[in-house]
Structure 1
Amino acid sequence: MITSTHAAARTCRGTTQIVVAGDRPILTEALAVCLGDVKGFRVTGVADAHHQVVPTLRRTAADVLVVSGVSPRSLALADEVRRALPSCGVTLIADESTHPPLTRLRDSCRVGVVHRRARLAELIGTIRQVSAAAPAAGTEGAAAHDAAGGGAAQLKDRECSILRATVAGCTIKEIARDLYLAPGTVRNLASSAIRKLGARNRFDAARIAAERGLL
């Protein structure tokens, strides 16, 4: 049970782990430095070659891959990451955000597309949205267990973060502040977790998730 204020605050604070990839090392490294300075972000790896990306994502347990520059090769990479690591979101920085292949990718809640002329705030917001939409690592197996009547819920990373913060005694306002989300988004994610777990409220959902070892 968490008893210290410091531990409770740490539980409320979510960190999005990011790997940055691109075929222009100077720009890729500069973007990595920039994102690493954003509160709540931690850049855990940089990859400037296609074959390095998935191993780097696996090694660092990244939440989001950010790809600087979109080409047929990087689009194929996004598909590869989605197949190999469903728990990892992808954010693409593109020259043309309405290109048909990009439109197809944008249909996934785990893929975000930002125009290369967008401001940094838009990129940061997109990364956060993609991270919030990505399922927690290992929940693919939980989903299969559900289908077989196992009863384990498929909770997203942010839903788990919100429930952990609830266990720590954080309010909606505190959770929103520490996860860099709008209070309405926190409520929506909490409602989703409540529905998945068949709980009565946020606190009941946190209890059920803890008992099932989901947190």
Structure 2
Amino acid sequence: MSSPTIRLLLADDQDLVRGGLAALLSLEPDLEVVAQVGRGDEVLPAVQAHHPDVALLDIEMPGMDGIEATAAVVGSGAQCRCLMVTTFGRPGYLRRAMEAGAAGFVVKDTPAEQLAQMVRRVAAGHRVVDPALAADSLSGGIDPLTDREREVLRAAADGASVRHIAEQLHLSPGTVRNHLSAAIGKTDAENRYGAARVARERGWI
């Protein structure tokens, strides 16, 4: 008796990577790629339109990152489990992905046969995490930033002024400065740009 087909959605902004993944996974008799998207904000509409069992998501995508897209899929109540497939094994990404409801986290250079097996495990209701990524995440320490400090740092990373950040986040300039000062202290950085860089490298924003 053959196994039921597992329907897949692939989300990656690099056409070559997405196409390669689709070609490799489609070689498996029980896996079928039913949709592909190149932006994070296209993930939930594609899930709702194609009803995949598992979505394989890159983290860094335009429109919305893969972690935010995962939170949107999980929050929608869709019967689709999310597996992060990323180049970036940064400390913090794994923790954020799991907090968002991801069912697994693997790197893109995982051998195709192993990736297919991880997809099957996720579809069966299990959680899978690349062991090396898990070790890196634990060694990277816990994210010390608050949600508001992360928001302010994301805005600061784009070079926005304090006044612009304040308007964007509906805060007073003084409150923005306080959050930036706290984030600079927690990241041992010299200024807001350094704090944003450290937070990004560690996967905190």
Q: TM-score band, normalised by the shorter chain?
A: 0.5 to 0.7
Q: 1:48 aligns with which of 38, 52, 56?
A: 38
AA partner of residue 28 (structure 1): R
Structure 1 residue 130: Cα displacement? 1.0
How far, CA to CA, are the matches of 2:122 and 2:60 in structure 1? 17
Letter of the 2:38 counterpart: D
Find 1:20's aligned residue among 10, 26, 37. Answer: 10
Q: Which residue number corresponds to residue 78 of structure 1?
A: 70
The AA in structure 2 aligned to 1:22 is D
Structure 2 counterpart of 1:112: 104
Could you tell me how far 1:13 is from its partner in structure 2? 2.5
> Whose relative contact order is higher, 1 or 2, with alpha carbons under 8 Å and at least 6 apart?
1
When normalised by structure 1's length, the TM-score is 0.51
Change over 3 Å in CA distance of 1:103–1:77 after alignment to 2: same
Cα distance per residue 1:154-193 (max 9 Å; x no partner): xxxxxxxxxxxxxxxxxxxxxxxxxxxxxxxxxxxxxxxx
Aligned position for 1:185: none
Residue aligning to 1:92: 84
Contact 2:34 2:50 in 1 (8 A): yes
Tell me the percent identity.
17
Report what 2:48 is aligned to.
58
Q: Please give the alpha-carbon distance, in whole angstroms, between the structure 2 residues aligned to 1:56 and 1:76.
A: 15
Instruction: Please tell me the residue identity of whatever aligns with 2:95.
Output: T
Asked whether the equivalents of residues 70 and 100 of structure 2 are also in contact (C-alpha less than 8 Å), the reply is no
CA 27–95 in structure 1, closer or farther in 2 if over 3 Å, else same: closer
Question: C-alpha root-mean-square deviation of aligned residues, in Å?
Answer: 2.4
1:39 to 29, 32, 35: 29
Over 3 Å counting, the alpha-carbon distance change for 1:15 and 1:74 in structure 2 is same
Contiguous gaps of at least 5 residues in structure 1: 1-8, 135-215
* CA-to-aligned-CA distance 1:32-79 (integer Å, 9 cap, x gap): 122112120011011112232212111111000011354671211111
AA of the residue aligned to 1:26: L
Tell me the TM-score normalized by structure 2: 0.53
Q: Which amino acid aligns with 1:122?
A: Q
User: Which of structures 1 and 2 has the bigger CA Rg?
Assistant: 2
Question: Is the 1:66–1:92 Cα contact (8 Å) retained in structure 2?
Answer: yes
Aligned counterparts of 2:57 and 2:76: Cα–Cα separation in 1: 16
| Conserved? CA contact 2:48–2:78, under 8 Å | no
Deviation at 1:95, TM superposition (A): 2.7
TM-superposed CA distance for 1:28, in Å, is: 0.9
Cα distance in structure 1, aligned partners of 2:100 and 2:122: 10
